[in-house]
Structure 1
Amino acid sequence: MPEQAVPGSSEHAWPLPAPVPSGPRPRSRRSARDWVVDVTCFLLAVASGLVLVGITVSEPDPPAAVLVFADIAVGGAATLALWWRREWPVAVALLLAVIGCFSEMVAPAALIALFTVAVHRRPTVVLAVAAANLAGSAVFALLRPAEDLSFVWVVVFGVLVTAAVVAWGMAIRARRELVVSLRERAVRAESEQLLRVEQARHTERTRIAREMHDVLAHRLSLLSMHAGALEFRPDAPPAEVAAAAGVVRASARQALEDLREVIGVLRESPDEGGQTRPQPGLADVPALVEESREAGLRVRAEYGVADLGAAPSVTGRTAYRVVQEALTNVRKHAPGSVATVAVTGGPGTGLTVDVRNPARTGGVHADALPGAGTGLIGLLERVTLAGGGLAHGWTADGEFRLTATLPWPA
């Protein structure tokens, strides 16, 4: 899992702690830490067992030497089973619990095995192994009763020690699970951050593509119309040819300026506080229509809004883009036709933009201009984000109609 994923920086591995297993632990090579812990546990179990046997031997009525020797031999051999407590903790703990019924030497090793079970197994398994340990200690107390302690006190002491070992092991298990959970949350949060960054990049690319389409498609369609006029009228007077060429050059320059300004606006960070190009609004629609007329497109415009400049910025900008896209599509797909633009509405009633045009009539620019086919899709997304709706299609009268409804709060 990546520890850190910041654009422009390298990634570093972040090792996670191994999750606490609930089943048999797979065999693996012991690390240096495992070797130290295992050897320490073995030496501690042997030393503690010898101390217990020594205390028993020092009593006024010690057991027979043969029993003591057998206890040390069997207990010492059983203590070697701790080496496999990582792979089979339950089996080792139960084996030591059974041997603990007869051997005092194995008691510390049995507690270490019980601790391992408490760390690596479910509570139900831990309680079962703990009960087996208590049963083994009770049997040992019956077979070899202590002179200065009653059977009840021996059992109570065994319960207290077993409960302490189990509680300690389960506390370590809970802490390990908590650490693993926190690490997983951190990794998941970083993964989600990577997804958010990637989504932001995708959104920005989509925004750039939309702005480029809205700005350049309109400008380049005008440029194509002027160039087409030069192509279809090669015998025009030199003055008209020069004028048309000047319009083509001016349109190309304006397209480049629009491209530079759009990219500049999109690259600017909100924190930079730089000057950005004012976005067009509803008040700029008449100028847009007039620009299309100058390019040769026949447009009838009707404005049923008392004050075009009073429209909200989002509503006005969206309405402008709707008219711009509609007129661009008319120049591409229905050259020579007459487009009708109607903008009506007001505060409280909403804003309606309706653009109609008949099918293409041939003539100049009979070859339709190429298009990406995504203009209406992007326009629908823009109108939807503004809280409005968009409808388009052919009417019964044979006209293509594009209608956008946008909110205009009172």
Structure 2
Amino acid sequence: MTTATPAGGSTATRPSRGPLTDRLTGGGRGTRIVWLVLGLLFVFSVTRAISGEEALTSSSTMRAALLLAVPIGLAALGGLYAERAGVVNIGLEGMLILGTWGAGWAGWQWGWVGAIIGGTVLGAIGGLLHAIATVTFGVDHVISGVAINILAAGVVRFLSELVYTEGTGGGPTQSPSVGGDPPSFSVPVLSSGPDLLGDLENSGWFLLSDLAGVLRGLTSGLGVVTLLAILLIPISYVVLWRTAFGLRLRSCGENPAAADSLGVPVYRMKYIAVIISGALAGLGGVFLVFVAGIYREGQTGGRGFIGLAALIFGNWRPGGLAAGAGLFGFSDALQLRSRTAVVALLLLVALLLVGVAVYQAVRRRWVPAVLAVVVAALALAGFLTVDELPDGIVFFTPHLTTLLVLSLASQRLRMPKADGLVYRRGEH
């Protein structure tokens, strides 16, 4: 039996590595992602069964994780557009702040629809200021972003003192209540009505109950901004990687001089990208206002910076940043739900690191494999000896997760080549 050989003389057929290995690794990236998700769910199920912490995969924890992940994910998605066009957006936190104030004021005036418009528009104005400073005047991107963060906090305080006078129900640090509640949605039959997923979650079956808890948490009580945020992930992928507009935008972040020579309006594309970035961050601020029902000073809580970390963790890709936002949201939700469940994370980390060690050993990378085993042993020892973590460590869990994830992911990151560089036509 012969194998057809291409014109270049080399065979295009990859040698078989066994039926099981071919089944697990074949099918491209989509198949590998499916197996990765199923593997993670299995590890979570094992951890839940050993530790007895039902909060690890309960629908209430997953629903809280989704709520906490949405503003982080929207800020990260905003950063994606700006940085793919070559503009570093440290000002995401300030644009979130502007979005919260715009949503609070417009929601007080015109209800939840007005809140969405007001927050998005005010966030876009913050993006416009960043674009004027960095694209037109060539200000260092980091300096401009930090300035916007400082400016936004001062502007919203000034506007609150100016607008929310005595008798309005608001004040210098908060707005009156938003008029009307935004609609919410649950998937029929599965998460509402018969609630099949709820029944399966309560059955206590290994793996199936955990899967039902995760799905029920992600398909019940979804608000309008939550649905929009979920849809924006695949939409952004299609726009940036499957359209001519996205190709032009990404070319501005990789090689703006070459893009300019091919007729791409580099300055205009950068402006559009950074304004979209601000609008998406502003939409994240709208979500925070919807959760609280009003605007409050300091409402963002640094989520813009965590969104930037999620963007970097996700390697400047929509799916990756969504995973990063979900990770940070889950760690935050877990520490709010149960202090003892946070201890169970040590067992989860130990199991995951054992898998990492096996993977590195198969690839004959002995140093990372040994390091993973050592850290896994320390995590397991912590799980077996610690009953409850101190309040300070529990509260710091999301931020600690951010630091650990970024340090572990730093070796495989590839930012756009021209990200953060000031472009001037004719100088490159």
Q: Which bin holds the TM-score, normalised by the shorter protein?
A: under 0.3
After TM superposition, the score normalised by the length of structure 1 is 0.23
TM-score normalized with structure 2 length: 0.22
- When Rg is computed on C-alpha atoms for both structures, the one with the higher figure is 1
Structure ranking higher on relative contact order (CA contacts 8 Å, 6+ apart) = 2
More strand by share: 1
